[in-house]
Structure 1
C-alpha cells in the first residue's frame, strides 16, 4: 500500500512540473522506507522563512542546486520558483553570472555560493539578510544553501545523473554557468 501511495505522489509531482521521476520510483520500489524518507525530505528542509524574503531564498535554492547540477534539478527549481510567482528573469541573470543585477534573488544566490565555498563574504551577506528580513530569513537561506544540492547528488549516486542542459527561464532558454 505504501509503494502505491508513494508512486502515485511521485507521478503527480512529475506531471505537475514536467519532471522525470524515474529515480523516485526506483527508490520507492526497492526500499519503501527510503522512499518515505525521500518524500519527507522537503518537509524537513523546506523552511522558507518570511514571505518578504522569498526572493533571497529562491536565489539561494538556485545557487545550491546549480552547485550540484545544471540539468533537470536546476530546471525544477526554476519552474517551482516561477510557478510560485518568482521572477524567471532574475533567476536567469544569476544563472548567467550576472547575479549583481538580480536584486534580492542575486543576494541569496551570492549568499549560498559563499556559504557553500566557505567564503567570508557569507558573513556580510548574512548580516545584510538579517538586517533587512530578520533571523528567520537567514535560517531559510541557510536551509536552501545547504539542501538544494541534495537531490542532484542523490540522483547521481543512484545512476540517474543527467548532463548539463539549457535551462528555460520563462520565454528564454540559456546555457548556465556552473556555480562551483
Structure 2
C-alpha cells in the first residue's frame, strides 16, 4: 500500500516538473522503506529560510546541484527557482560561469561552491549572507549547499546519472558551463 502512495506522489511530481522519476520508482520497487526515506528528503533540502533570502537559497541549491550534476537535476532546480520567481537572468549568469554578476542568486551559488570546496572565500560569503539576511539565511544556504548534491549522487550511484546538457529557462536555452 505504501508503494502505491509513494508512486502516486512521484507521478504528480513528474507531471508538475516534466521530470523523469524512474530512479525514484527504482528505489521504491527495491525497498518501500528506502522509498519512504527518499520521500522525506525534501524536509531537509527544501528549508528555504527567510523570504527575503529566497534568491540566496535558490543560488545555493543551484551551485550545489550543478557541482553534482549539470543535467536533469539542474533543470529541475531552475524550474523550481523560476516557479518561486527567482530572476532568470541571475540563474543564467550562474550557469554560464559568471556568478559574481548574478546578484543574490550568485551570492548563494558562490557560497555553496565555496562550502563544497572548503575555500577561504566561504567566510566572507557567510558573513555577507548573515549581515544582509540573518543567521536563518546562512542555515538555509548551508542546507542547500549540502543537499543539492544528494540527488545527482544518488542517481549516479543507482545507474540513472545523466551527462551535461543545456537548461531551459522560460523558453530560453542556457548552455551550462560544465563543472571542472
Q: Secondary structure of the equivalent of 1:173?
A: strand
Q: Secondary structure of the equivalent of 2:41?
A: helix
Aligned-residue offset at 1:44: 2.8
Match of 2:139?
Answer: 139
Unaligned 5+ runs, structure 2: none
Match of 2:118?
Answer: 118
Q: Distance in 2 between matches of 1:168 and 1:97?
A: 16
Match of 1:32?
Answer: 32
Q: Deviations over 1:16-66 (max 9, x none)?
A: 000000010111111000000000011133211100000101110000000
**Are the counterparts in 2 of residues 91 and 105 from structure 1 also a CA contact under 8 Å?**
yes
Q: Distance in 2 between matches of 1:179 and 1:132?
A: 29
Match of 1:65?
Answer: 65
Match of 1:100?
Answer: 100
Unaligned 5+ runs, structure 1: none
Within-5 A mapping of 1:12-51: 12-51=12-51
Question: When the two structures are aligned, how many residues end up with a matched partner?
Answer: 180
Q: Distance in 1 between matches of 2:135 and 2:25?
A: 37
**Are the counterparts in 1 of residues 19 and 76 from structure 2 also a CA contact under 8 Å?**
yes
Q: Secondary structure of the equivalent of 1:168?
A: strand
**Are the counterparts in 2 of residues 63 and 179 from structure 1 also a CA contact under 8 Å?**
no
CA RMSD of aligned residues (A): 0.9
Aligned-residue offset at 1:170: 1.8
Q: Secondary structure of the equivalent of 1:85?
A: coil
Match of 1:161?
Answer: 161
Is 2:83 aligned against 1:90?
Answer: no
**Are the counterparts in 2 of residues 89 and 169 from structure 1 also a CA contact under 8 Å?**
no
**Are the counterparts in 2 of residues 55 and 86 from structure 1 also a CA contact under 8 Å?**
yes
**Are the counterparts in 2 of residues 3 and 32 from structure 1 also a CA contact under 8 Å?**
yes
**Are the counterparts in 2 of residues 60 and 111 from structure 1 also a CA contact under 8 Å?**
yes
Q: Secondary structure of the equivalent of 2:173?
A: strand
**Are the counterparts in 1 of residues 44 and 147 from structure 2 also a CA contact under 8 Å?**
no
Provide runs of 4+ in structure 1 moved above 2 Å.
none
Q: Distance in 2 between matches of 1:44 and 1:175?
A: 29
Q: Distance in 1 between matches of 2:179 and 2:126?
A: 19
